[in-house]
Amino acid sequence: MASIHPTAMVDKTVILADDIEIGPYAIVEGDVKLGPGTILRSHSIVRRYTWMGAGNFVDSFAVLGGLPQDYKFDPAQVTYLKIGDNNIFREGVTVNRATGDGEATVVGNNNYWFANSHAGHNAKIGDNVILVNGTLLAGHVTVGDRTILPANGSIHQFCWIGEGVMFQGLAGASMHIPPYVLCADINKVISLNSMGLHRREDISEEDYMQVREAFNIVYRRGLGLQEALDKMDSCDDWGRAAVKFREFVRAVFNAEPPFNRGLCPRVSRIHARR
């Protein structure tokens, strides 16, 4: 049976699993779905058209499914925030629902949202992502799996962040960031995320060497993106990881407005510290 504190306000249209917990003064608006094992702490808010899977934790003063911060949004539109399983939303987190009738902001599984992190409308967050305190994701940002986003840093609207990226604190991006790299400052790729790759059980040493080769082709040989893609296309023995890097670069090369943000350039570690 659901445990709902008497001071909580839960709309009668909410679909509740049997074992959820809703704390004091929490608010759950209409047309919401809360999956098994959901925990809403005191003063948390889940707004209309938010769907949550199983095992999610929402801490105090988090607001999920708020209206998009978008001038063109029509409040009559039915849009969604769709959340997977086993996510942790700490104090003060905000995630907005989408703009565009029938569209959704999407959060995957097993993500950890540190205090005061934010994702705007139509964002797409993968699995096993960490949003460190104060991370700000603008509208239409896409974040790949296993990425660690920057403390008190921001990602510009319409940017793509690849899988397995790691940012230094206070970093940011207004360009696309390819998979498996380290980023510092604003729009600065400094190296491969070698430690992150070596720690992954699904990335073999051969995979790592192929990703390093792809990184070197794009960032160390002075080639244009078309030349780099032609060179990478000749590597027909690459596995999933290197292919993912190559196809990300291809998507950036072919991106049309408003997603034509360009590929983030590389700088040396020494220059990145200045």
Show Cβ contacts of residue 76 under 8 Å, excluding neighbours closer than 6 positions.
none
Q: What is the pLDDT of residues 55-110, one digit of tens each?
A: 999 999 999 999 999 999 999 999 999 999 999 999 999 999 999 999 999 999 99
pLDDT tens, residue by residue, 131-142: 999 999 999 999
State whether 48 and 118 are in the same domain.
yes
Domain boundary among 123, 140, 157: 140
Do both 132 and 240 map to the same domain? no
Token reading at 94: 């905000």
Q: Tell me what pLDDT residue 55 has.
A: 98
Whether 237 maps to a domain, the answer reads yes
Q: Indicate whether 150 belongs to any domain.
A: no
b/e 253-271 (16+ beta carbons within 10 angstroms → b): eebeeebebebbebbeeee
In tens, the pLDDT along 4-49 reads: 999 999 999 999 999 999 999 999 999 999 999 999 999 999 999 9
Task: Tell me how many domains the chain contains.
Answer: 2
User: How far apart are alpha carbons 160 and 37 in whole angstroms?
Assistant: 32
Residue at 103 is within a domain: yes
**Same-domain status, 135 and 10:** yes
In the predicted structure, residue 120 carries a pLDDT above the cut 70: yes
Cα distance between residue 171 and residue 184, in whole Å: 5
> Domain with 248 in it: what CATH number?
1.20.1180
Predicted TM-score (pTM) of this structure: 0.95
CATH label of the domain that carries residue 86 = 2.160.10.10
Q: Give the structural domain span for 122.
A: 3-140
Pairing of strands 188-192, 181-184: antiparallel
Kindly indicate the confidence band of residue 268, based on its pLDDT and cuts at 50, 70 and 90: low
